Structure 1
Amino acid sequence: MNEPMPSETASGLVTLPAHGTVDAVVDRLRTAATEAGHHVFAVIDHQANAEKADMTLRPTRLVLFGRPAIGTRLMQDRQTAGIDLPSKVLVWQDEHGETQLTFSTGTWLANRHGLKTSGRETAARLDAAVREFVTRARRPL
């Protein structure tokens, strides 16, 4: 699992494998984000919500986190960036029982909202932070 982070796809999504259960990876992701000064706003359990609707879904959690100083800068550049904030990482189990992490890149965010130079720089810093959190979450403790 030492492969480099893949480049951005046309959709702006990156998916990477992780060691451990979905819940263990979510815990490591939360810790990485919190230790870096980001606030974890919520963890949405899509699997539990599916069960409430009498449906089945493999383990799937959406982790929402952010840092107001970063998000505000992005929205000051283009307020529409708020639709993609806070940052989020989807942690999910694939059909083979393997845990995956999926996130949007900062370049995609900047392109989607037509951010100016300062906004692009902020998006790049946010992208680096998310990639660091994901890298930490992928590895077992």
Structure 2
Amino acid sequence: MKSLCKLVILTTFFSLSNNVNAQDYKTSLGLGIDFGTGSTMVGPSAKYFFTKNSAIQGDVLFGGNSTLIQAFYQHHFPVIGAPTLNFIVGGGAGIELYNYGSTVLLKPTAGLEYKIKEAPLAFNFDWRPTMFLLDGAIEPARFGIGIKYTF
């Protein structure tokens, strides 16, 4: 009986999650903010879905006398019961350019994205712990916020 109940619950979960689209847009452009330990960086951000659940996002951010160029792969998972809210997991790499040099960094990401159903707007909030490859430093308290126009 317990096995049958587990099977029914799992079947219901997967059938519900497969019937919900992860996103109802293909491309977005907007403003990205990367903040936390260290400087706050602000600049343009773009996202493109190449499958229903897989996207690439690119940012060019400015702040703290430096420029941060980064790109992320993101996989979107629909939140059951909230059709325009998605979990996001992924990661990416970037390069930070400053007065006397540059550094390469890696950023795993996890967060949420909310698309307003009646308007062409999407909002995201994610955690982006940053690992600086050249000097071995880690900034675990880094976050991203974005507001995007979707089309």
Give TM-score scaled by structure 1 length.
0.34
Q: Which has the higher strand share?
A: 2
Q: Which has the higher helix share?
A: 1
Bigger relative CO (Cα 8 Å, ≥ 6 apart) = 1
Structure ID, larger Rg: 2
